[in-house]
Amino acid sequence: MIPLAQVTSDALSQRLGESGLRSTPQREIVYDILIKRRDHPTADEVFARVKAELPTISLATVYNCLEALVQCNLIRQVNFDRGPTRYCPNLHPHAHFHDEVTGSTYDIDLPPGIVEQLKAQLPEGYAVSDVEIMFRGKTRERRPATVEHTTR
Amino acid sequence: MIPLAQVTSDALSQRLGESGLRSTPQREIVYDILIKRRDHPTADEVFARVKAELPTISLATVYNCLEALVQCNLIRQVNFDRGPTRYCPNLHPHAHFHDEVTGSTYDIDLPPGIVEQLKAQLPEGYAVSDVEIMFRGKTRERRPATVEHTTR
DNA sequence: GCAATAATTAGAATTATTCTAATTATTGCT
DNA sequence: AGCAATAATTAGAATAATTCTAATTATTGC
């Protein structure tokens, strides 16, 4: 298994604290769920998985937890067209590939420099906080070696 | 005024026909509206503008027309996070810059080759139909007339 | 000119997300 | 430890964008 950039419970608590947020059992579990299976789940899917461990959690809390984790940069949101927002704990610079047939989303690693090259296209006075790159298409049927995971 | 890549009424009709769709007054007006002011309006905004010319049009029809135009590749959809879908008649390869402060969206021209360079990052067997690049950030305050969008 | 097909319309339905108000938990003081 | 202040959670209601539905109107091919 490839070692994944993740964060211990203590570190999570610290990161939340830095953004003026508290660590709670709900937030820890939501983060764990995302780390355990990195398949870009929707809030609803996270809700379903978390309920297995903490049946009393509410959907509103899942949204709150996801927002908290986004806010302190532990996870990223991913949107494809009009679909529901998906959540991604991969913090390395990467693009997303959305398979239009299966609905799966894959992470695509980007070589260093290419994002800077893109930013260089911006006119004077455009201050970028974030760049997002998304591919749409389909994957040839295969058992992916390099690929992260499948949704649904 | 810089000449804009656009399509005559006849050509519009032809392009629709190629996709098995009919040309209608509603579709022509919706397309005209997008060409006239290329500021990435939402379906609601398009609806409001079209109503000035054709007061009987319905929102459902605007959605239908926009979908038809997307389908025959005369316009593109742009999505930023959870915001409503916006529509863009710029067919040249370009990225989008979304100003988080004002909510405006600007076209960013891309030099040839960079999209290919991105596609080259994909593993074997990933067939791309479309690439989308979006910047999020803010623009230094300037006269809005010059920056509404880049034109070709 | 007529049947078949497609597009339009108004409004209802759906979906994802956000908001609200009440409750519960946590923190920082003394 | 006790207590006020603050933050988080919860269930359910509200919202916003989009899609669906069923009836009507327009267009096309014969």
Q: Which domains does chain B have, with CATH numbers?
A: 9-78 (1.10.10.10), 92-147 (3.30.1490)
DSSP chain B: --------HHHHHHHHHHTT----HHHHHHHHHHHH--S--BHHHHHHHHHHH-TT--HHHHHHHHHHHHHTTSSEEE--TTSPPEEE---SSEEEEEETTT--EEEEE--TTHHHHHHTTS-TTEEEEEEEEEEEEEE----HHHHS----
List strand C contacts in A 35-64 (CB < 7 A).
42-44, 59-60, 63
d(CA B23, CA B10): 9
What is the maximal distance between C-alpha atoms in chain A?
51
pLDDT at B152: 40
pLDDT at A103: 87
> Does B127 sit within 8 Å of A139, measured CB to CB?
yes
> Which nucleotides of chain C have an atom under 7 angstroms from any protein CB?
6-12, 15-20, 25-27
Q: Which nucleotide is nearest to A79 (CA to C1')?
A: C16
pLDDT at B1: 47
pLDDT at B57: 96
- Positions of chain B with pLDDT under 70: 1-7, 9, 141-152
End-to-end alpha carbon distance in chain B: 10
Which tokens hold the place of B95? 């990225």
Radius of gyration over alpha carbons of chain B, in Å?
16
Residue A2's pLDDT band, with cuts at 50, 70 and 90, is very low
Whether the pLDDT of residue A142 is over 90: the answer is: no
| Chain A touched by B42 (CB under 8 Å) | no
Edge-to-edge, what's the strand order for the sheet holding B94-99? A105-109, A94-99, A126-139, B126-139, B94-99, B105-109
List strand C contacts in B 6-65 (CB < 7 A).
20-22, 24-27, 54, 56-61, 64-65
pLDDT at A135: 95
Sign for the CA dihedral angle at A41, A47, A48, A50 comes to positive
Cβ(A125)–Cβ(A14) under 8 Å? no
- pLDDT, tens digit (0-9, with 9 covering 90-100), for A20-34: 999 999 999 999 999
pLDDT at B2: 40
Chain B environment of A124 (Cβ under 8 Å) = 140
Mean pLDDT of chain B: 88
pLDDT at A6: 61
Rounded to a whole number, what is the distance in Å from the CA of A10 to chain B's nearest CA? 30
- pLDDT, tens digit (0-9, with 9 covering 90-100), for B37-80: 999 999 999 999 999 999 999 999 999 999 999 999 999 999 99
DSSP label at residue A113: T
pLDDT at B140: 87
- pLDDT, tens digit (0-9, with 9 covering 90-100), for A31-66: 999 999 999 999 999 999 999 999 999 999 999 999
Whether the pLDDT of residue A151 is over 50: the answer is: no
Question: What mean pLDDT do residues A93-118 have?
Answer: 92
Mean pLDDT of chain A: 88
Higher pLDDT, A10 or B22: B22
Question: CA torsion A138→A114→A76→A81, rounded to 10°?
Answer: -40
Higher pLDDT, A138 or B141: A138
